[in-house]
Amino acid sequence: MRLVSTFFSLFSILYFYFMKPGLCSFALLIFFSFACYSQTEKKEWQEAEEFLKSQTYSITESRDLRLLGKEIRLRFKDSATRLKAAYLWVTRNIRYDCEGLKNKNSRWALDSVLKSRKAVCAGYVNVFRNLCEAAGLECVDVSGYGRSGFENLLVNRDSFATNHTWNAVRIRGEWKLIDITWASGYTSEDCSSFTFHRNDWYFCADPSRFVWDHFPNDSSWQLLSQPVSWQEFYRYPLLYQGMIENNIEDFYPRSVIIERKMGDTVVFHFKSNRPLNRIILSSRKQRQLYRMDIPDRTRDGYRYVYRIDQKGSYDLQIDLLLVENSRVLGSYNIHTFTDIVYWVKAL
C-alpha cells in the first residue's frame, strides 16, 4: 500500500516575515496543488458524483455490484463518465486491509471484499474490474512490481518478484492505466491504519510517469513506445506523494544511489511549474541530518546544491514546499509530503 505522508519536526527557530504594515501572521501555510480538469472533464466528474449520491441501496455481494454497473451503463452513454463513476465508488467504499496484510489473510474474492469493504491490491482490482465490466467497459488486471514504501528504496537488481496489481481500462479506443488501490488513500507507516484520500494521479495516469513506480510483468502494459527495462527501473529513486502535489515532471539525479566523498556536492534539479520556496533534507537512518533551506529558481523549476557532511550509507529524503506569509517560533510540526528519497554512500 502506498505510504504518502511524512512528518517533520522543526526544533530550530524559523523566521518568515509577513510584509504588510500593521498585520502579523504566525500561520504556516502549506500549499497543496491538485489536478486541473477541462470543462468537459469537470462535467463528467460532477455527473458521476450526482449519480452516486442518488444510489441508496447497499452493495454487499457481487449481484449488487453488477446492478450498480448496469445502472451506470444505462445512465451514461459516454465511457469516460462511466469510468469515473466506477472509480469514485471504489475509492470511497473500499479501505485497505492492514490487518489482513499483516496476518497474510487478506481478502481478494469479490463477495468477501464487498461484505467487509476491505481489501489489498488484488481485491481492489477485482472489484474495480467487475464493476467496470458490468458498466460496459473493457478492463484488465495488470500484475507487476510496485515501489511504494521505504523498504523498496533499494530494489533487488538480480531478481524480479511480483508484489502488486493494478488495472488498464480501454476508453474511447485508448488504454488507460489506473491504480485503484493507491488512488483510494494511504496507510500509516506501520500499516496499522488507513486514511481515505482520493489521489487522481493514479487515474488515467501518464504512462511515462506511472512507470516511475509501476513495473508490469508484461512490458507492453507500460503503454510506452520505448519500454523501460528492469535495469532502468530499479535505478530510480523512491518517489512519493510530494512529486504529485508539486507537479514535478522530471528530476535529477535519476539514480537512487548517490556516491560521493565527504565535502563533495550534489546538484539536485526539479522540473515544476508550482511556486515552491523551501526544501527540507532529512534522513531516517542518519537522525542528525536535517536541513531546511531555500532552493534556487531556474527557468523550468528549481535547483539546490547540497554538500555531503555526513559519512556512511543512509537515506536522503527531499521535500519541496511553499511557505507563505508566515513566522514560526520554537518547535513546530510540519505535515507535508515527501517528494523523493535517495540512498547516499559517503566515503
Q: Tell which residue, 97, 91, 186, has the closest CA to residue 148.
A: 186
pLDDT mean over 277-297: 95
Q: At residue 290, does pLDDT exceed 90?
A: yes
pLDDT tens-digit map of 51-66: 999 998 899 999 999 9
Encode pLDDT of 196-214 as tens digits: 999 998 999 999 999 999 9
Q: Is the pLDDT assigned to residue 5 strictly greater than 50?
A: no
Grade residue 177 by pLDDT with cuts at 50, 70 and 90.
very high
**CA–CA separation, 82 vs 68, rounded Å?**
11
How high does pLDDT run on average in the chain?
85
Nearest-CA neighbor of 121 among 85, 150, 146? Answer: 146
CATH topology of domain 39-238: C8orf32 fold (3.10.620)
Contact 324/31 with Cβ under 8 angstroms? Answer: yes
C-alpha grid cell for residue 159?
A: 531478481
pLDDT in tens, 19-40: 322 322 222 222 333 345 688 8
* 8 Å CB contact between 134 and 163: no
Side chain identity at residue 205, one-letter code: A
What residue segments make up the domains of the chain, in order of their start? 6-33+246-346, 39-238
Torsion of the alpha carbons at 178, 180, 184 and 188, rounded to the nearest 10 = -100
Are the C-beta atoms of 148 and 1 separated by less than 8 Å? yes
What architecture is the 6-33+246-346 domain classified under in CATH?
A: Sandwich (2.60)
Using the predicted structure, report yes or no on whether residue 187 has a pLDDT greater than 90. Answer: no
Question: What's residue 74's pLDDT?
Answer: 98
Per-residue pLDDT reduced to its tens digit, 242-275: 888 888 989 999 999 999 999 999 999 999 999 9
Coil, helix or strand at residue 28: coil
- For residue 154, the model assigns a pLDDT of 80
pLDDT of residue 14: 35
| pLDDT at position 13 | 28
Rounded Cα–Cα distance for residues 265 and 258 (Å): 10
DSSP string, 184-199: HEEE-TTSS-EEE---
14-23, 236-245, 323-332, range with the lowest pLDDT: 14-23
Residue 334 clears pLDDT 90, i.e. is over it: no
Q: What is the pLDDT of residues 117-152, one digit of tens each?
A: 999 999 999 999 999 999 999 999 999 999 877 777
Report residue 106 as a C-alpha cell.
Answer: 487478506
pLDDT at 227: 97
Rounded distance, CA 83 to CA 44, Å? 10
Average pLDDT over residues 160-171: 93
